[in-house]
Structure 1
Amino acid sequence: MHRLEFLDLSVFVEVADNHSFNEAAERLHISQPALSRRIQKLEEILGAKVMERTTRRSRLTPVGRDFLPKARKLLEDYESSLMGVRELATYRKGVLTIACLPTAAFYFLPSVVREFNTAYPGIRIRILDVSANEGVERVVSGEADFGINMVSAHHPAVDFTSIYRDPFVLALRRDHPLAQKQCIEWGDLDDVRLITVSRDSGNRILLDNTLLSAGLHLDGFYEVQHLSTSLGLVESGLGVAILPSMAMPGAEHEVLCQRDLPEPRIDRTIGLLRRRGEPLSPIAELFIEILLKRWN
């Protein structure tokens, strides 16, 4: 029975990232035959193929795609275990991976990352800006140390801790006629072009369900996949959008502004996802401490 080694994992991740045996071999400073033997050995250990190789490129099999986040986590854990006691004590090195909603990753999270990097400049941060459902999967699989997600993201293997209620607001240009109103009514949106996100979005589902329970319905003129795209259309003067406040830029933005929505008020609960029964790493705890200070 073969024994899995650090280099086996390194070879696999390098090939997966570069989609090329040649490039991976050059980056790892090993011969291509030696690299191929490492992949073959890994496949023998797993009992399944992880790579499909063509003349020029390679791609992951379903087994390979499933194993990739596990391999990354094993490499990161191995790297952390090799740190000296002094480096661990002073947090000079390490890797932190966060699965974060795109709406939080775009405007809010950078300020937290900046403060964290100022305090701990040797720690690398990977931000996986993914949907709510995918964020749960990344935490469950161990690819992410923790997640920033919505309360609707349920899974028996994770715990959710509420930390922030994020209200939905009306996003519009400062020169839009509705920007002159301090109190927006639902009827005000009848005569404007509304930009909405797709109906399979968690934010859209929450919005539609809340309005439906109040006997209200909004027709979108434009439909997009991502909230960041809707903001781009708003900024271009193509319409207005209803979206979480967290997705908005700060009050100092030259073009965009926001207005509160009337009753029924719509908000979503944002919080931290972590694997149930597993303690967070000291590095993750440090990051969350700074995040909570910013949020509160």
Structure 2
Amino acid sequence: MHWIESFLTAAHYENFRKAASSLYVSQPTITVHIHQLEKLIGAELFERTGRRIVLTHYGREFVPHARAMLTTYQAGMSHMDKKVQGFLKEVRVAVSPLIATSYLPHWIKVFTKAHPNTEVKIEVMESKLIGPAVNEGEVDIGLSRMPIISNQLSCKQIHSEKVVFVVPHDGRDVESGLPIDAEEILSEQVLLTHNHPMYWEELLRSCKRLVPTIREMKVSQVHVTKRFIEEGLGCSFLPLSSVRRELAEGRMLEGELPSLELPVVSTYLLTKSPSPEAMTLEETILYLT
């Protein structure tokens, strides 16, 4: 970068002596830098006529690239200087939609209250994309519904919960006082499937053994699945955290299926060489779970 800086300064003054004075170095130092840069590029960058120098064709071609390199270098060093001194703190989190709408708000609320000077950036993405995002350094922490086996990433199981069978609240149970006949609902309603990346294949096979005539509709997002259930468009199996409020408010009901062994799902925390801020957030999440 010293070579680049010497080149741009000499190009500005068209004089090695003035360039040296501007950079507070000796004139031979400027000359050495220019020679080294010309050797690296493989072309002369200046024409020398006595004490005066002018850019060659190759020199003029190289000027905008040299400026871009110096600007990027200076911006990077300034950013890192602020980062190291604690003036610029941030943590980038990739999170699945389900976690983003259930546990994440509480975790982030606690963290930001304790660390108000740290900016938290949230990227909501499908669980299958979170591992690669952490591995490529696009984010500092991943919160996924899928485990990952990798020598490059740390994967910690931080929380587990049961899956529940949820059905629309159509008022019949309130009037009759009778328990929900889950098998009847499965035979009558559409089963909304594939809103979770882990458990649906085996669970769907079990449902079809129980009710061979079952009809299904693939809905990839949990929030869409819940909306469909509230509108009476079907039923589904969802992690308890995702429907806790809807069940408490009576917007949907939980059905029991004793003949089915419902799965347990987990949340996984993924990291790779985390920053100090990311480590602090990780500690906060582990404490809260």
TM class, shorter-chain normalised?
0.5 to 0.7
Q: How big is each residue's C-alpha offset from its partner over 1:260-296, in whole Å with a ceiling of 9 and x where there is no partner?
A: 6543121222221112xx3x3222222223323333x
RMSD: 3.8
Q: Look up the match of 1:115.
A: 110
Q: Look up the match of 2:205.
A: 212
Structure 1 length normalisation: TM-score? 0.61
Match of 1:270 among 254, 267, 270: 267
Q: Look up the match of 2:286.
A: 292
Aligned-pair CA distance for 1:38:
6.9
Q: Is the 8 A contact 1:101 1:149 kept in 2?
A: yes
Aligned-pair CA distance for 1:187:
5.5
Q: How big is each residue's C-alpha offset from its partner over 1:54-106, in whole Å with a ceiling of 9 and x where there is no partner?
A: xxxxxxxxxxxxxxxxxxxx97x973641474xx3xxx751111111110011
Aligned-pair CA distance for 1:226:
1.3
Aligned-pair CA distance for 1:147:
0.8
Q: Distance in 1 between matches of 2:80 and 2:215?
A: 49
Q: Distance in 1 between matches of 2:268 and 2:120?
A: 19
Q: Is the 8 A contact 1:168 1:245 kept in 2?
A: yes
Larger radius of gyration: 2
Q: Distance in 1 between matches of 2:81 and 2:181?
A: 56
Q: Look up the match of 2:156.
A: 161
Structure 2 length normalisation: TM-score? 0.62
Residue identity in the other structure for 1:106: T
Q: Distance in 2 between matches of 1:150 and 1:39?
A: 46
Aligned-pair CA distance for 1:233:
0.9
Aligned pairs for 1:126-141 (under 5 A) are 126-141=121-136
Q: Distance in 1 between matches of 2:224 and 2:235?
A: 12
Q: Look up the match of 1:245.
A: 240
1:257–1:237 distance in 2 versus 1, CA, 3 Å: same
Aligned-pair CA distance for 1:110:
1.0
Q: Which runs of 5+ in 2 are unaligned?
A: 5-63
1:141–1:253 distance in 2 versus 1, CA, 3 Å: farther
1:187–1:123 distance in 2 versus 1, CA, 3 Å: same
Q: Is the 8 A contact 2:166 2:238 kept in 1?
A: yes
Q: How big is each residue's C-alpha offset from its partner over 1:195-230, in whole Å with a ceiling of 9 and x where there is no partner?
A: 2237xx624xx2222453797377444332312111
Q: Is the 8 A contact 1:196 1:223 kept in 2?
A: yes
> Is structure 2 residue 193 aligned with structure 1 residue 196?
yes
Residue identity in the other structure for 2:79: E
Q: How big is each residue's C-alpha offset from its partner over 1:105-125, in whole Å with a ceiling of 9 and x where there is no partner?
A: 112211211222222222111
Q: Look up the match of 2:224.
A: 229
Q: Distance in 1 between matches of 2:91 and 2:65?
A: 27
Residue identity in the other structure for 1:195: L
**More deviation, 105-114/152-161:** 152-161
Aligned pairs for 1:40-59 (under 5 A) are none
Q: Look up the match of 1:17.
A: none
Residue identity in the other structure for 1:208: E
Residue identity in the other structure for 1:255: R
Match of 2:276 among 259, 264, 282: 282
1:168–1:2 distance in 2 versus 1, CA, 3 Å: farther
Task: Give the secondary structure class of the aligned counterpart of 1:225.
Answer: coil
Q: Distance in 2 between matches of 1:123 and 1:257?
A: 40
Q: Is the 8 A contact 2:167 2:252 kept in 1?
A: yes
Q: Is the 8 A contact 1:96 1:123 kept in 2?
A: yes
1:84–1:154 distance in 2 versus 1, CA, 3 Å: closer
Match of 1:255 among 219, 226, 251: 251
Residue identity in the other structure for 2:189: V
Q: Is the 8 A contact 1:146 1:274 kept in 2?
A: yes
Number of residues paired by the alignment? 221
